[in-house]
Structure 1
Amino acid sequence: MNLTPGEIIGGHYRILCLLGRGAFSQTYLAENLYRLSGAKCVVKQLQLMISSPLILENARHRFFREAIVLENLGIHPQIPRLLAYFEENQEFYLVQEYIDGCQVSQEIKEGKRWSENQVIALLQDVLEILVFIHQHGVIHRDINPANLIIRKSDGKIVLIDFGAVKEINTWAVNGKRQEKGTHSIGTAGYMPPEQLDGKPRFSSDIYGLGMTAIHALTGILPAELQRDDKYFHLFWREQAAQVSNKLALILEKMVCYYPGDRYESATEVLHDLQNIKNSKKNNLVTATAGRDYSSISQKNTILAKLLPSLLTFILVGITFIVNTIFPRYQAENKLTS
């Protein structure tokens, strides 16, 4: 059942408008009537359309289990807090903190490429979130520009829409977990091959982030980029704005076709990114020192050119004093005597 503006669910969440719609879920902007200020929140409605009581019961257990995981992840300042989760009329609801900001997908416009510094800042922000969720044993499974929000208050990236809850929908439709692994969840172009095969791993999130960064640098959707037929190398550097070889190598390792060739952890990527930042700082210090030395050298050169003239002026002055003023002074002393 679709919700309408003004409708109240969970006793005190009033629906304001529809934010987005998926195959088995809708996302709404709502307000919390328990708050005097009517604080905004986001309500995700999961419509499972289950007829079997057994499947419904299993889906219920999975929903509450995944909700607890999201609740624990919400302690991170760049993951929306889970405010409530409940079942109503055999439909499941998640209520999350509303993040005022814009999606990265809105900032990546076709033909408008991000600078290297912008992309490095994006990578660092998201990688630090990935370190946290991976330490909790969670794979996001849908890293892409639409699931990254630039928070208006501080410009930080907030990660939304975890794939674990999406899996409940596909699981309920199929009635059971696929034998080969979890269900294929993600966004085309940002999803690595092992995830398509239903076997995501931590490096799958790194792949999605790498593709997001390449999208930002090139302004081209990942699905439109070509790969080498033999080695599956991704062709993107020719389409990017000026990007250093160091950053390009990091991104290429992030989006390797085979997971064994990729970075194993977000921490490893952060380490290599920090080396780039340190290198830039060192280059800046060297350049500044070079400019200072050059300035001193120029001053010394000017002084060297002026010194002969200055010495000549001093000698002329001394000669004038000795030959003109001093004899007069001696003569005046004799007359006085």
Structure 2
Amino acid sequence: MQVYCSKQHTNLDSNRFCTTCGEPLPLAVGQIVNQRYQIISQLGQGGFGRTYLAEDKQKANQVCVLKEFAPQVQAQQDLLKAKELFEREANVLKKLQHSQIPQFHASLQVQIGSKDFFFLVQDYIEGDNYCQLLEQRQAKGQTFTEEEIILLLQQILPVLSYIHSKDVVHRDISPDNLIWRRSDHLPVLIDFGGVKQLPASQGFWFTKLAVNHTLLGKKGYAPEEQIRQGKVFLSSDLYSLAVTILVLLTGKEPQKLYDSYQGLWYWGKEIKVSPKLESVLKKMLAYKPSDRYQTAEQVLKELPSPAVTKPGNPYITKLKTQIVSPGQKRANAIVSRIHQRTQAVSRTLPLPMWLRPFAVSMLGTAIVGLTVAGTLAAVNAVVRGITSITIPSISLPTIPSLPNPLAQPVSNKGNGDVLARRQELEISEAFFIRMVDALFYSQKPEMQGRTITSKSEDKALRDEWLRIGDDLLDKLEQAELSPAARRKMGSYSQKDYERWRLQARTGKLGDYTMSQLNKETNQKFAELFPGKQQEKQNQQTYGQIWYAIAADKVSKIQSNN
């Protein structure tokens, strides 16, 4: 059997390196490494080798990541140095025990053919990286909002603080090395690198802070001292994180945001943020390392609050009161706490933007009501110190019922209970909204780049969005998917398909073949969505439904065997 490198040179399948260019050749799907890790698919490729998705056969088929280290060197001293640096990298990774860093499991030295290969085994993180998330937004004419960016900083800076406390600098922070984990919606810092290798004449890349001869880093994201001098400091990571933030805010690569001739960022032109956030980012991006923040904690202390970065944001409802009394400060504090709670809920609600203000308003009203009912004595104490309290009446428009506890779902099918139906079917909110958005904008391409607001003039658009959502739920009910398949929609990926293929090849599905699976799934998909066969290639929308249908078929076959 013949295999090919990325340059399409022909090789025997027994080769581990291309005989023409020396490039490491991929491990075959189904191959078992170290009598334990079975290759499911290839995830990526870098200068040090490839990254694979694998099943750990000793841990109930738990999925993990294998990072291969295959340096293209021949001299014995270079191979010994490679092994030394690989072991040093593994020792660093063993120290990192943080919930937002993939857990390190093992380092392996495996002989494949006549050569030794090194692997690192780590957790597999289910989710999209921020580069993919940005691409999804840009397809709709959007980028990340300032509020989202500040939340991201608040969530990832403690991770940097942790690794820096271990004398480790990441040196390669960028949108594709941050993953939005689906299980808890937190950013995860990945790719500490295994050991990455430069051409043999230039030495190797490694991680330890104590060794300053590091050249790892993406152009545009890494600071000058790292790219040009090979030096690295704690503030080098802060610089790269700030560049990452600018890219997510603007949707443009660093080269489009920076005047390399004058050494200036395009503030106020390409980069438009609130003055306080601009001040923080400028200090993170200072040319001299000594002029930057020296620790992640310093950045956290000076970050603006997400709730006040955009005072005119129409998607955030603020509960306002007019108070004239000696007890004004105390009452303001109570209202402020209520406001902070509603803001926090607003940030976490996976709802269309035009629904968030209503949800927050309803929650704010509920909190006020519960506070009055449940803590009457405390309220009376406040009222006694206040001359007058005037709370403006809140008139809510008619909106769809929201999932509990914000509202009780209604039983009658229609536009008024789309979100309740979604909840009853146990379909991921994030997937459902993404799917309906895609359908809405495909039917109304002239609306691309325009967000539906909660204003009265957008009522017809909101009704249309809800109608599309209702039709989608009809289709998903007709599909008669299992609850497990419906729940997983939004998180299916190519690794699921590769697992099914491996099961078919190893006889775990009996005589059932992948050809049969594809044929039957395509047939059912076509019945539900006639004329949409091409759209199933989109793994963010229709593809998730295709996977769900296939998953149920595989489960049925397994239960019959």
Question: What TM-score, normalized by structure 1, do the two folds share?
Answer: 0.78
After superposition, where does 1:1-337 map in structure 2 within 5 Å?
1=16, 2-36=26-60, 38-73=61-96, 75-89=97-111, 90-109=116-135, 110=138, 111-163=141-193, 165-166=195-196, 169-170=197-198, 172=200, 174-175=202-203, 181-196=212-227, 197-227=229-259, 229-230=261-262, 232-240=263-271, 243-273=273-303, 275-276=304-305, 288=319, 290-291=321-322, 296=390
User: Paired residue for 2:340?
Assistant: none
CA deviation digits over 1:237-258, x for unaligned, max 9? 32345x3110111111111222
AA aligned opposite 1:267 = E
Taking only aligned residues, the RMSD between alpha carbons, in angstroms, comes to 2.9
- Secondary structure at the aligned position of 1:16 is classed as strand
- Secondary structure at the aligned position of 1:128 is classed as helix
Q: Is the 8 A contact 1:214 1:236 kept in 2?
A: no
AA aligned opposite 1:296 = T
> How far apart are residue 161 of structure 1 and its match?
0.6
AA aligned opposite 1:152 = R
Q: Within 2, Cα distance between the matches of 1:129 and 1:96?
A: 17
CA deviation digits over 1:214-242, x for unaligned, max 9? 11111111122232744x2211432345x
- Secondary structure at the aligned position of 1:54 is classed as helix
Moved more, 216-225 or 50-59: 50-59
More helix by share: 1
- Given the superposition, is the C-alpha separation of residues 164 and 131 from structure 1 closer, same or farther in structure 2, using an over 3 Å criterion? farther
Q: Within 1, Cα distance between the matches of 2:279 and 2:251?
A: 19
> How far apart are residue 206 of structure 1 and its match?
0.3
Higher gyration radius (CA)? 1
Q: Is the 8 A contact 1:171 1:183 kept in 2?
A: no
Structure 2's unaligned 5+ residue stretches are 1-15, 17-25, 313-317, 325-387, 394-561
Q: Is the 8 A contact 1:148 1:159 kept in 2?
A: yes
Q: Is the 8 A contact 2:320 2:391 kept in 1?
A: no
Q: Is the 8 A contact 2:150 2:305 kept in 1?
A: no
Q: Percent identity?
A: 38
Structure 1's unaligned 5+ residue stretches are 300-337
AA aligned opposite 1:254 = M
How many corresponding residue pairs? 289
> How far apart are residue 41 of structure 1 and its match?
0.5
> How far apart are residue 54 of structure 1 and its match?
2.1
Q: Within 2, Cα distance between the matches of 1:270 and 1:46?
A: 36
